[in-house]
Amino acid sequence: MSLRTFFEKYPERRYIMFGGKGGLGKTTFSATTAYWLAKQGYKVLVFSVDPQASLSDIFQRDIFGKGAVEIMPNLYAQEVDADRRIKEYQQEIRQKILDMYGLDQVPQEVENYIQAAAAEPAMEESAIFDAVVDIVIGGEYDYYIYDLVPLGHALYYLSMASVYDEWIDKITGLRAEMAEYAQVAAIMQRSRETEEDKILRELQFIKNRINTSSGILTDKQKTAFFFVLIPEEMIILDTQKAAGLFAKYNVPLSGYIVNRVIPPELADQNIPEYLRNRLEMQKGYLEKIDKVFGREVLARVPEFERDITGLPMIERVAEVMLGGAA
């Protein structure tokens, strides 16, 4: 099967992700697939939470923190400003404390706690996750293409359900401590029961969102997760390992895309020994990839003569990766 037939055969897989190590081509393939699907007439959003802002680079537009920006008809790109989400999140917590206890200023001690809690990786994850949930739950697009940050993170992300249970425990603990601060300050104005009701309602709301979106992100019927690799020894080994982990976490894998293949037809030309050796070496690794991943390899993308930036370049990649645009 080819990547193109994959999309034709499984139109219900509307949540598309490319995983793999940094620098292998995830952003390039996210943008290319988004471009191709948009050309097919689908309304597509490609989005990222990576502060590296690489969608801005590939589309040659500054889209960071600007919401969904139209790149061309049907194609929208969005880069989430995670830091801003965290700040908004902290502000929300402050406001809740002020409202709950009828204060007009957050006590310094509690403020310190909020600062410390915001530095927790779990907090950052939750802010990012919240942003992703908002995007995915919106339901405005035919396709959502999630330009992932490198693999470890992706895996973490996709096993969110358990991460979120932990996070909820943390938040519950945090709230309990805040209640203590409040008591010490003798400013608690509402009954404990009301407060607990509120917290419970909120946690249930959060849980509901988590279930909905992690459901989407790990649903075999709706999600396609592709691994990007290149013909190199270490990457092949890493990819095998990662695939094993994905299987362990029950994250469905849809196939592999091999990037940076030196065009084999160069061998018929008068080329330097150096390049001939590299071609030979790649040939071996490509054979190994075929042996290991076999029919799950959905596309081979050549090494281009320059970086992939701008729509004309993306169009060229789309042609080889997906067999021509529109």
130 burial via Cβ count (<10 Å: 0-12, 13-18, 19+): buried
Size of the site for Mg ion (CB under 5 A): 3
Among 14, 21, 26, 39, binds Mg ion (CB under 5 A): 26
Q: Are 308 and 58 in contact (CB under 8 A)?
A: yes
Min separation Cβ 293 and Mg ion, Å: 22
Please, which residue, 22 or 152, has the CB nearer to ligand ADP?
22
Q: Are 252 and 223 in contact (CB under 8 A)?
A: yes
Of 26-34, 131-139, 200-208, 254-262, which part binds Mg ion (CB under 5 A)?
26-34
Please, which residue, 121 or 310, has the CB nearer to ligand ADP?
310
Min separation Cβ 207 and Mg ion, Å: 30
The strand pair at 69-72 and 223-229 is best described as unpaired
Please, which residue, 116 or 271, has the CB nearer to ligand ADP?
271
Min separation Cβ 25 and ligand ADP, Å: 4
Instruction: Give the amino acid at 288.
Output: K
Q: Are 26 and 19 in contact (CB under 8 A)?
A: yes
139: alpha, beta or left? (left if phi > 0; alpha if psi -120 to 50): left
255 binds, among Mg ion, ligand ADP, none (CB under 5 to 8 A by kind): none
301 binds, among ligand ADP, Mg ion, none (CB under 5 to 8 A by kind): ligand ADP
| 259 makes contact with Mg ion (CB under 5 A) | no
Query: Bridge-partner residues for 261, per DSSP?
Result: 302
Q: In what order do the strands lie in the sheet with 69-72?
A: 69-72, 75-79, 44-48, 143-147, 15-19, 223-229, 255-261, 297-302
Binding region for ligand ADP (CB under 6 A) = 20, 22-28, 54, 259-260, 301, 303-304, 307-308
Q: Treating both helix axes as pointing N-terminal to C-terminal, what angle do 192-218 and 151-158 enclose, rounded to 10 degrees?
A: 120
Residues 6+ apart with CB under 8 A from 169: none
User: Could you tell me what percentage of the chain is helix, strand and coil, using 3-state DSSP and rounding each to the nearest 5?
Assistant: 60, 15, 25
Min separation Cβ 304 and ligand ADP, Å: 4
Please, which residue, 54 or 159, has the CB nearer to Mg ion?
54
Instruction: Give the amino acid at 198.
Output: K
Min separation Cβ 60 and Mg ion, Å: 15
Instruction: Give the amino acid at 56.
Output: S
Per DSSP, the chain holds a count of helices (H) and strands (E) of 12, 8
Min separation Cβ 222 and Mg ion, Å: 23
Q: How many Å is the Cα radius of gyration of the chain? A: 23
63 binds, among Mg ion, ligand ADP, none (CB under 5 to 8 A by kind): none
Min separation Cβ 64 and Mg ion, Å: 14
Binding mask 33-62 for Mg ion (x = CB under 5 A): ---------------------x--------
Among 14, 15, 18, 27, binds Mg ion (CB under 5 A): 27
Q: Are 75 and 35 in contact (CB under 8 A)?
A: yes
Query: CB nearest Mg ion: which residue?
Result: 27
25 binds, among ligand ADP, Mg ion, none (CB under 5 to 8 A by kind): ligand ADP
DSSP state of 64: B
Residues lying near Mg ion in the complex (CB under 5 A) are found at 26-27, 54
